Structure 1
Amino acid sequence: MRDGRGVLVLMGSGETSPTMVEIHRSVVRGLGAAPRAVLLDTPYAFQENAADISARARGYFARSVGLEVEVSARLEEADWVFSGPGSPTFALGRWTGSGVADELRARVRARRGATVLASAAACTAGLATVPVYEIYKVGQDPHWREGLDLLEPLGLRAVVIPHFDNAEGGTHDTRYCYLGERRLSLMEDLLPPDAFVLGIDEHTAVIIDLENGEVTVAGRGALTVRRRGSQVVLPAGGGTDLAGIGRLARGGAPARVLRQAGPPAPRQVTLEETARDRERDVRTALTRHDTAAAVRAVLDLEAEIVTWSADTEEDAGGVDDARRTLRSLIAVLGGLADTVDPRDRLAPMVEPLLVLRGELRRSHRYDLADALRAALSAGGVVVEDTPDGPRWSVTGARHRPAGTACA
């Protein structure tokens, strides 16, 4: 364990997606060369595919961040600790009984190393934890479970709610880590009077510098400081300090506001948005009869799916939906074989040859005219001489009546 600036990073989602690469890199840069990096797999350790999730996460950090990560529960000498998706309550149960909870608290109190908690693991960071599986999946009444309270040494009496802007529900409210407004309002009444909510949007990180107390918001969304239904939103690119967060929770204004230097960072695009854009590109290209552009859009989507395949969240960053979109677009392209008249492709070549054949016939060069007709027939183009002139068709094509050409 080397000396380095301590940071606590809380992520709302997307922790192993392309949208968060630069945030991870910026955290790792502060650790020096070859830091010891540990992945805590506890939140998802109960899942049958836990080993696969760990392998994808390790591959993501090695490939995208340049960080070699080991799966371990030994945190004492770790420079960087990461934990992500799964069940918050399962993780808490295992961490409390194994000493990991105490070690995580000690890291924050001692302001040492980088501790990165995302999604389910981020839920555990406050004084209380959302038991999201039990409430949203099982149907238990709204309630809290005791949290790690990593924020207490920082002067914050808060709970952390990731996925704060979730919109997966469509027809029902899944904001606030699938609680929705009704259940969150009920749960706020169960908190101590001075406690408040730190809501972190998806694909968004809150970076707390444990040395100077600066709080920076990065990524796509925002940090929401909410207390009993009243809230203040700090968008990505800015921030405040720990004291400022406390003032916002009490209804005041922070004495210190951090603003992003220089132009705003480019907006990160999710896989869902990319799939929607590429689908639109394919449809637009086909209306212009630009098959090559449609194929390029499909290949671009396939490349993005590969890039996002390391995402370890349950919906894999929308990978399954994107694959369904990809399959539907491939089917559309495949269907072109049944809808595009081959005459459209062959006409620029066939019709000049028929004009030449007519000139040969008028010059009484019937041998050459017949040879040309035989060559066309061998290539699948059938020429029929009629009183109105020659007509031609493609063998097996039934899309529209055969056309005529100048004799």
Structure 2
Amino acid sequence: MPLVAEGLGGLIDATLPDLGLGASWQDIYRMRPRVPLVCQACRGSLHAKVSPRGLRFFAHDAARRDCPLAGESIEHRLLKSAIAAAVRMAGWHAALEVTAPDRRWRADVLATSPDGARRVAWEAQLARQHDDDTMARTAGYAADGVEVVWVFERPATREVPAITVDVSDDGITVAEPLARLITSRCESGSKCVRYRDLPHPPQCVGHGRWGPATLVLDQFVALVCRDEIRWSVLPPPEAIRPGYFEPVEEIAWTSPVYVRRAEAIREVQRVTDASVADERHQRRRRHEAELRRRQQEADRHEANRAALRERQHRLTSIVVQQVTAGTGQAPWTLPSDFEHATGVSVIVNGGPVAVICPIASRIDGEIADRLLGVTVYVASERERRAIAGECHPGQRIVVISQDHQATPPRPADGIP
């Protein structure tokens, strides 16, 4: 059932107070003789009617199954009327049931900006329609440079710009898909939640998430006309974790300001994440370098211990032979004698008479005092100088070379 008809020398719009022609509804409603009215969609004859709810419309004089407007419900007509009224409140021109010259599309409401630069087709689709049909009709509008907004009563495809409305006695509310950006910052002085693992986290650059929004139909239509709300892919305003952004496929109506703000948050976080990643990389390199240094130090320490054990083992049999020959008694040995700087103590009659290869760095004052009463045996001149530097003057030190030749005892007189 149409809301517009041809008559009175022009196009009559039942949703306008003056019918768009400077006339009144009484000029055509129940007039005798009847005013000739014609359906612009099927060219059938029409007459003016008023619904029980007070909605003015036109009805065919005879059933026309071939008319594309046949079978429209009262709810459909009410929704078209409400959309047209909202478009006009926004300062745009609204024309109902407009058909393209080549008839590739017919808009329930065609909204045109005051300067004619933009045209937006509003399609009230309360009955079920196949998604392929919806996308095909949307493509037809796009081919003629016409934007389109589909108005559904139940959730439908996200492949086209669409809204779902909730119609009640209180009005028409846009239920979905509307999105608003909710931003926040970490509390002053607290660590940014994205970088809690860092000892010195960077200043919080902000966090964002998308949340639902609601608008009444008049508000939504006005925002579309002012280009303050658009059908947009929602960019992720915040990385799932630093350095990684999960692609967002959600599409909704939102403000371009929100989109730019979300992109700005993401870009700042990207730069911050790059800096943080570099800091983490440097920390990891320093940590790995420290681990290598410690391992090298441990390896050197173990190598020195192995070399010490080898020298002590090599010299022990020689020293034992010399002590046996000199005392006439078979001594016993005490390896790793901590009282003698981890050297091998050679003991006769319960007391040490020699110490083999003590560790110079472990000789303190007390150990130096104890060493004065024994002969220290070492494997090289270099080892002798190191030990002599820690002992008291007069300390007897014998160097046993690789060929098992012993040098005469030399006191630690301070001369290396």
- TM-score of the two chains, using structure 1 as the length reference: 0.25
More strand by share: 2
- TM-score of the two chains, using structure 2 as the length reference: 0.24
Find the structure with the greater CA-based Rg: 2
More helix by share: 1
